[in-house]
Amino acid sequence: MTSLKASVSPHIRGSRTTHRIMLDVIIALMPTLVASVILFGFRALLLTAISAAACVAFEYIWEKLMKKPITVADLSAVVTGILIAFNVPASMPIWELLVGDLVAIVAVKMLFGGIGCNFVNPALVGRVVMFLSFTADMTNYSYPAAAVDALSSATPLALIASGSIGWEHFMDILCGVHGGVLGETCALTLITGGLYLCAREVIKPIIPLAYIGSTLLFSWIFGSPDPVLSIFSGGLMLGAIYMATDYVTTPFTNLGKLIFGLGCGLLTSLMRVFANSAGAVSFSILLMNLVVPYINELTMPKPFGGVTEK
Amino acid sequence: MHLPKLHGAHVPHRKNTAGMRPERMPTPKMVSIPMSMHIGAPAEPLVKPGDQVKVGQLIAKAGGFVSSPVHASVSGKVKRIDDVLSGMGRFMKAIVIEADPEQETLEGLAPPVVTDYQSFVDAVRESGVVGLGGAGFPTAVKLSVKDLSKVEAVIINGAECEPYVTSDTRTMLDDGDLIFEGIELLKKYMQVKRVVIGIEKNKPQCVAEMQSRAAKTQGVEVMALPALYPQGGEKVLIYNTIGRVVPEGKLPLDAGAIVLNCTTLAAIARYIKTGMPLVEKVVTVDGSAVREPKNVIAPIGTPVSDLFEFCGGFKSEPKKVLYGGPMMGIAMPDLSCPVMKNTNAVLAFDERDATLPEPTACIRCGSCVDACPLNLMPTEIESAYEKRDVERLKKLKANLCMECGCCAYACPAKRMLVQTNKLAKGLLAADAAAKRAEAERKEKEKARKEAAK
């Protein structure tokens, strides 16, 4: 008779799980992976697979060594791995990519306590470390065979900044038929994945909209030659939709998310217009990651009926 | 006036028994009627082992102002006054009565004489009625209002937002007469001008039934509320019906409202009409382990095992049995636990439904913050509690939590947020008690020094 279980209410739970959320992010990234393989060839798939596998392996090995519960089944390492691969060009040497994975998983994620405990986005730190360590390889962009002449040398961001391309190449830019890293060029599939994530309520559209919208606005204010084209190029779509929406390193509340998105947009425009455009998105998001605790504190929701003690 | 919407959780409804008229179960062989079926002081037994009692007879008097009398739910012989296991896993005093084959009602049971406000409140006290929605707060205490002009509205709670539970649904469908007689009593003796009946939209038949009756009554409005848990939470209901916010540490009355559960009101009306105090309850018997879910009319004190037996027994081994719904219900330790005044459902779940997923690390997604109807930050409360940071918990207003469970329901990492919140509230209470004791000690010290001079 005493075989009944006792536990604190509630006795039912919703269907959302961390695993399902991560799986949705992976699903959302798939169209972009397909686009990347079409644009940059088989090596895009190879690098992505290696990066994802490496991230899972690093997490697993770390947890084994530290005698901690194995958490790789939550798929968050797979997401990190795909995102890191999406941030390198097709010609990236594999060992350099592995360095990025190692930094992201071990130094940024696991050393701080694993999922939920990192204060900056692991994939972005991985990217920045690779960018600073292997600058030449990280900017040795591949160019899709199908790219028109104008788009077959520098990245569109650089071209727009110098005023050498314009709207006649809009469709090429939208579809990603230009130079860049694996996962950033095809704005079309990135947006499609973002819509899927919003529909699945994995992310709210606030941060991407605030980020992209404010980048547009501030770029125009700061005198960018073509602010509209510039939001479709470079790492902005990938960053705004998939990196700036990482739960752990972004604010809780809608107001907090808005502030975060606007801050990212301001920093990105400043860097793009007045400094080097490469890496602007990564550095902007990382800088904003650092102020998230303060944003959370400032935008703490007002408890219903709460009375402040005098 | 535009009011910002309160958050909540889209819990499943599972109102499987909504269409089932309550069936009267056979008289149980034995009932054990607890002395603590309400918030406040336990009732004090008036009978002793060996006494013969009849249905409706007063067997225990209220143990104080915030307390409630208890009546015999069956006729028979008092076997013993004993400690029985309560739903909380503690022991509580109960009067155990062995039922006679022939059930006799107390002769001379007559409607109470009610002439004015005071006699009305007295009658409510004598009826033994407490908050039947689950809280068990003595209704007479709630209705004892110093200044009746402060009561701007009485809100009848028909939200019944917990999954599975349909006993209030049945009250609205089967005992609509009593609810409206109750409303007339409130209007007559408490000069209530405005009555609002709040019902979740997922019960259109109840909304229609109450609306057709309200159309014939002055000053009664029926509001169909969104089917968003916890619509029936007192603060949430007050806000969503009359747009008032109950401030921290204050009562609904301070916001001009009294909230009464619809079944509570019907029980009051029944007593004043017939003189029969609260001795039986409509209990929803459901859950994945139950063969034939039903609404059952059960004498108070009936062991829940008898209810399950009346519902065809178990189709699989019950692994978790609840008093109340799955969001806020209490897991009982044993099937011998009795039906209490505030029991609106008993649910039995099989292994699968009784097993909660293992908690994993918080991913700081903010789902709990988005779900909390009171705008609290459960994840922040959790990390503050883990650090035993009392100041931070105060700032986060952990004390306001009503333990509705939306946060834990929404959490993808399946964290035990309600459990942590309960612990956090305990920590705050302990801290406040320690501060009070310290202040008292200093006061005494001072007095002692003064005296020594």
Per-residue pLDDT tens for A41-78?
999 999 999 999 999 999 999 999 999 999 999 999 99
Distance from CA of B157 to the nearest CA of A (A): 20
CA distances for B335 relative to A4, A11, A250, angstroms:
9, 18, 47
Smallest CA-to-CA distance from A120 within A277, A1, A293, A259 is with A293
Query: Of A213-227, A251-265, B12-26, where does mean pLDDT reach its minimum?
Result: A213-227
How many other CB atoms sit within 10 Å of the CB of residue B93?
19
Mean pLDDT, all residues of chain B: 94
Q: Are B94 and B78 in contact (CB under 8 A)?
A: no
Query: Of A91-100, A226-235, B152-161, B246-255, where does mean pLDDT reach its minimum?
Result: A226-235
Q: Which residue has the tokens 């949430």?
A: B236
Smallest CA-to-CA distance from A194 within A253, A238, A254, A248 is with A238
Going by C-beta distance under 8 Å and a sequence separation of 6 or more, which residues neighbour residue B118?
A: none
For residue B298 the two structure tokens come to 């059960």
Residue B26 lies in a domain: no
Bridge partner residues of B70 (DSSP): B60
Subunit contact A116:B363, Cβ cutoff 8 A: yes
Last residue of one domain, picked from the residues B274, B293, B314: B274
How many other CB atoms sit within 10 Å of the CB of residue A86?
27
Question: Distance (Å, rounded) from C-alpha B445 to C-alpha A4?
Answer: 51
Q: What is the secondary structure of B28-74 as a DSSP string? A: PSEEEEES-SSSSSPPEE---TT-EE-BT-EEEE-SSSS---EE-SS
Smallest CA-to-CA distance from B217 within B258, B186, B241 is with B186
A107-148 tens-digit pLDDT? 999 999 999 999 999 999 999 999 999 999 988 887 776 666
- Determine the straight-line distance between the first and last CA of chain A, rounded to whole angstroms: 52
Nearest CB to A13; choose among B318, B356, B403: B356
Average pLDDT of the residues in B339-362 = 94
Q: pLDDT at residue A169 above 90?
A: no
Q: Which residue has the tokens 């062989």?
A: B29
Domains in chain A with CATH codes = 18-298 (1.10.3430)
**Domain around B384:** 367-448
How many other CB atoms sit within 10 Å of the CB of residue A65?
9
- The answer to whether residue A302 neighbours chain B at the CB level (below 8 Å) is yes
Question: Distance (Å, rounded) from C-alpha A204 to C-alpha A246?
Answer: 11
The CA-based angle B384-B386-B387, given to 5 degrees, is 65
How sure is the predictor about B87, in pLDDT bands with cuts at 50, 70 and 90? Answer: confident
B140-180 tens-digit pLDDT? 999 999 899 999 999 999 999 999 999 999 999 999 999 99
Residue B191 lies in a domain: yes
Subunit contact B356:A11, Cβ cutoff 8 A: yes
What is the maximum span of chain B, computed from C-alpha positions, in angstroms? 78
Taking CB atoms and an 8 Å cutoff, what residues of chain A touch B11? 12, 14
What is the maximum span of chain A, computed from C-alpha positions, in angstroms? 81
Question: Distance (Å, rounded) from C-alpha A150 to C-alpha A169?
Answer: 9
Nearest CB to A247; choose among B317, B333, B363: B363
Question: Distance (Å, rounded) from C-alpha B229 to C-alpha B13?
Answer: 10
Going by C-beta distance under 8 Å and a sequence separation of 6 or more, which residues neighbour residue B243?
A: B1, B3
Q: Are A91 and A142 in contact (CB under 8 A)?
A: yes
Residue B159 lies in a domain: yes
Interface of A with B in 207-246 (CB under 8 A): none
pLDDT of residue A146: 66
- Region of residue A132 (left: phi > 0; alpha: psi -120 to 50; beta: else): alpha
Subunit contact B334:A71, Cβ cutoff 8 A: no
Instruction: Specify the higher pLDDT residue, B206 or A306.
Output: B206
Residue B185 lies in a domain: yes
Residue B243 lies in a domain: yes
CA atoms within 13 A on the CB side of B231: 26
How sure is the predictor about B332, in pLDDT bands with cuts at 50, 70 and 90? Answer: very high
- The answer to whether residue A6 neighbours chain B at the CB level (below 8 Å) is yes
Q: What is the dihedral of CA B138, B140, B143, B144, to 10 degrees?
A: -110
Bridge partner residues of B85 (DSSP): B91
pLDDT of residue A161: 67
Q: Are B105 and B53 in contact (CB under 8 A)?
A: no
pLDDT of residue A166: 67
B199-253 tens-digit pLDDT? 999 999 999 999 999 999 999 999 999 999 999 999 999 999 999 999 988 999 9
Residue B367: its H or E element: helix B367-371
Domain count along chain B: 2
Question: Distance (Å, rounded) from C-alpha B62 to C-alpha B84?
Answer: 19
Statement to judge: residues B270 and B374 lie in one domain: no
- Render the burial of B39-51: b for 16+ CB within 10 Å, e for the rest: bbbbbebebeeeb
- Please state the length of chain A: 310
Q: Are B117 and B148 in contact (CB under 8 A)?
A: yes
Statement to judge: residues B270 and B408 lie in one domain: no
ipTM associated with this complex: 0.90
Subunit contact A304:B373, Cβ cutoff 8 A: yes
Q: Tell me, what amino acid is at B129?
A: V
CATH code (residue B227):
3.40.50.11540
- The answer to whether residue A116 neighbours chain B at the CB level (below 8 Å) is yes
Subunit contact B12:A304, Cβ cutoff 8 A: no
User: Which sign does the torsion angle of CA B381, B387, B393, B399 carry?
Assistant: positive
DSSP 8-class letter at A151: G
pLDDT of residue A148: 65
Smallest CA-to-CA distance from B173 within B20, B277, B346 is with B20
Smallest CA-to-CA distance from B259 within B119, B134, B403, B399 is with B134
pLDDT of residue A98: 97
Interface of A with B in 243-262 (CB under 8 A): 247-248, 252-253
Q: pLDDT at residue A273 above 90?
A: no
Pure H helices in chain A: 18-40, 42-65, 76-86, 94-102, 122-133, 135-138, 156-161, 170-175, 187-199, 206-221, 227-231, 236-238, 254-274, 280-298
Last residue of one domain, picked from the residues B221, B249, B274: B274
Q: Are A229 and A236 in contact (CB under 8 A)?
A: no
Residue B82 lies in a domain: no
Pure H helices in B111-243: 117-126, 139-143, 167-174, 176-190, 204-214, 234-242
* Test mutation, A2, A5, A7, A9, chain B, max B CBs within 10 A: A9
Subunit contact B409:A300, Cβ cutoff 8 A: no
Statement to judge: residues B129 and B237 lie in one domain: yes
Q: CA of A303: which chain B residue's CA is closest? A: B375
CA atoms within 13 A on the CB side of B218: 7
pLDDT of residue A279: 84
Measured N-to-C along each axis, helices A18-40 and A42-65 cross at an angle, to the nearest 10 degrees, of: 150
Average pLDDT of the residues in B110-116 = 94
Average pLDDT of the residues in A242-256 = 94
Share of chain A above pLDDT 70, in %: 91
DSSP 8-class letter at B286: E
Subunit contact A304:B375, Cβ cutoff 8 A: yes
Mean pLDDT, all residues of chain A: 90
B265-290 tens-digit pLDDT? 999 999 999 999 999 999 999 999 99
Q: pLDDT at residue A254 above 90?
A: yes
Smallest CA-to-CA distance from B109 within B62, B178, B56, B58 is with B56
How many other CB atoms sit within 10 Å of the CB of residue A62?
18
Interface of A with B in 68-87 (CB under 8 A): 71, 74, 76
pLDDT of residue A154: 64
Instruction: Specify the higher pLDDT residue, A176 or A28.
Output: A28
Statement to judge: residues B144 and B254 lie in one domain: yes
pLDDT of residue A151: 64
DSSP 8-class letter at A168: G
Residue B98 lies in a domain: no
Share of chain B above pLDDT 70, in %: 100
Smallest CA-to-CA distance from A283 within A217, A219, A237, A239 is with A239
Q: What is the secondary structure of B263-274 as a DSSP string? A: HHHHHHHHHHHH
Q: Which residue has the tokens 């605030």?
A: A210
Q: What are phi and psi of B214, to 5 degrees?
A: -65, -30
How sure is the predictor about B2, in pLDDT bands with cuts at 50, 70 and 90? Answer: low
Residue B381 lies in a domain: yes
Question: Distance (Å, rounded) from C-alpha A32 to C-alpha A13?
Answer: 33
Q: pLDDT at residue A85 above 70?
A: yes
Going by C-beta distance under 8 Å and a sequence separation of 6 or more, which residues neighbour residue B322?
A: A11, B287, B329, B330, B331, B332, B345, B346, B347, B348, B349
Q: Are A79 and A24 in contact (CB under 8 A)?
A: no
Last residue of one domain, picked from the residues B235, B253, B274: B274
The CA-based angle A238-A239-A242, given to 5 degrees, is 70
Q: Are B183 and B266 in contact (CB under 8 A)?
A: no
Q: pLDDT at residue B354 above 60?
A: yes
* Test mutation, B237, B239, B375, chain A, max A CBs within 10 A: B375
Going by C-beta distance under 8 Å and a sequence separation of 6 or more, which residues neighbour residue B6?
A: A304, B236, B239, B240, B373, B374
A177-195 tens-digit pLDDT? 888 889 888 999 999 999 9
Q: pLDDT at residue A1 above 70?
A: no
Share of chain B above pLDDT 90, in %: 90
How sure is the predictor about A21, in pLDDT bands with cuts at 50, 70 and 90? Answer: very high
pLDDT of residue A310: 40
CA distances for B418 relative to B328, B329, B377, angstroms:
10, 12, 12
